[in-house]
Amino acid sequence: MQSQTHTFLINGSPLPCLRAGSGEPLLLIHGALANHTLWLEHIEQLSHHYTVYAPTLRHFGEAGKEGPFGLETHANDLLALLAQLACGPVHLVGWSYGADVALTAALMAPERFQSLYLVEPGCPGTLDEHAMAAFMADAGAMFGPVFGQVGEGLLQEAVATLIDGSGGHAGYFAAQPLKWQQAQLAEAASLPKQLSQRERPDWSPERLAALSVPTCIVQGADTRALFALVCEALGNAISACTRLLVPHTGHLYPIEQPTLFVQHLQRWLTTQR
C-alpha cells in the first residue's frame, strides 16, 4: 500500500489525514481512544478499489488539541477537511464515536456524501423516553467506573475499564494484542474531554427522516444494550436505511475482524454504484 499523510489546517487546528489508493472517495472516521492508524489493515485492502482518506480527529493522536471536544466541532472539522480535499461527494464510514460524528456531518451537509456506513453509533439523541431509560441504565454500568477513575486521575486504568466495557467483559483490554493496548493508552488524555463534552446535535426523528443519503447501520449481534438501542432507533428513524447485524461480534468488531469488516463494507459500497 502506497500512502501519504498530510496535515491540514482545519478551523485553526492541525489535522493529519492519510490518503491511499485510487477510485471513488471513501472517508474513514475512527472512534474514541484511537486515531487514523486504527484503519491501516482495512486501508491495505480498500485502497485497491477506492481513494481512501483517514483523518485523525481533533484532540486525538497528532491532531491539534485546541478548541472544544464535541460532535458538532468534529463534524464541522470534517466538512472543512472535505472542502480542502476537493474530492467530490464521498462514501463516509464511521465507527462508534466516529459514527456519531459522521451522522452529524451528514445531517449538516448531506450533499457532501454518497453514502453513510455507521458502525455502532452511541449517541442517544434520537431515543424515546423508554429506550433512554434502558440506555442510561447500561451507560451507567459501563461509564460509571470510568468517571470515577478519571476523577481520581487514573487515566490508564480508566482506558482499560472503558475497553473492558466496550468489549463486554472484564479482562478484555488485557487480552488484546499489545499494539491495541498501547494505541488505546496513548489516547488516554482524550478521555476526560470525551466524558465532559457538552455538544448535543439535533438528531430529532423529523430531521433523521428527512436524511436522503443512503445509510447502512451496522451492529454486532453480541454488543451491549446501549449500542443496540441506538442502532435500532436510528434504523427506524432514517428512511433511506439498511440494517446489518453481524453474528458473533460486539462493539470492537472492526479491530477484532478487519477482513470481515472490509468484506461487509465492500458489499455495501457495491450496492451504491
Question: In this structure, are 24 and 122 located in the same domain?
Answer: yes
Question: In this structure, are 110 and 150 located in the same domain?
Answer: no
Question: In this structure, are 65 and 185 located in the same domain?
Answer: no
Last residue of some domain: 145, 175, 194?
194
Question: In this structure, are 138 and 252 located in the same domain?
Answer: no
Q: Is 123 helix (H, G, I), strand (E, B) or coil?
A: coil
CATH number of the domain encompassing residue 40: 3.40.50.1820
Q: pLDDT tens digits, residue range 55-75?
A: 999 999 999 999 999 999 999
Q: Is 112 helix (H, G, I), strand (E, B) or coil?
A: helix
Last residue of some domain: 177, 194, 211?
194
Question: In this structure, are 32 and 99 located in the same domain?
Answer: yes
User: Rounded distance, CA 271 to CA 273, Å?
Assistant: 6
Last residue of some domain: 194, 220, 237?
194
Question: In this structure, are 166 and 223 located in the same domain?
Answer: no
Question: In this structure, are 140 and 255 located in the same domain?
Answer: no
Per-residue buried b or exposed e for 86-104, using 16+ beta carbons within 10 Å of the residue's own CB: ebebbbbbbbbbbbbbbbb
Which amino acid type is present at position 146? V
Question: In this structure, are 68 and 137 located in the same domain?
Answer: no
Question: In this structure, are 94 and 162 located in the same domain?
Answer: no
Question: In this structure, are 106 and 224 located in the same domain?
Answer: yes
Q: Pairing between strand 50-55 and 90-95?
A: unpaired
> How many domains does the chain fold into?
2
Question: In this structure, are 9 and 100 located in the same domain?
Answer: yes
User: Rounded distance, CA 140 to CA 147, Å?
Assistant: 10
Question: In this structure, are 153 and 220 located in the same domain?
Answer: no
Q: CA of 248: how far to CAs of 112, 216, 220, 222, in Å? A: 34, 19, 7, 6
Residue 57 and residue 105 in contact, taking contact as beta carbons nearer than 8 Å:
no
The strand order across the sheet containing 13-20 reads 3-10, 13-20, 50-55, 24-29, 90-95, 113-119, 215-220, 241-246
Q: Is 42 helix (H, G, I), strand (E, B) or coil?
A: helix
Q: Which range of residues forms the domain containing residue 249?
A: 3-129+202-271
Count of beta carbons in the 10 Å neighbourhood of residue 33: 24
Q: Which candidate, 159, 190, 155, 184, places its Cα nearest to that of 65? A: 190
Q: Three cell numbers at 78?
A: 470534517
Q: CA of 220: how far to CAs of 11, 21, 30, 127, 130, in Å? A: 35, 28, 17, 19, 22
Q: From first to last of the 273 residues of the chain, give the pLDDT tens digit.
A: 688 999 999 999 999 999 999 999 999 999 999 999 999 999 999 999 999 999 999 999 999 999 999 999 999 999 999 999 989 899 999 999 999 999 999 999 999 999 999 999 999 999 999 999 999 999 999 999 999 999 999 999 999 999 999 999 999 999 999 999 999 999 999 999 999 999 999 999 999 999 999 999 999 999 999 999 999 999 999 998 999 999 999 999 999 999 999 999 999 999 997
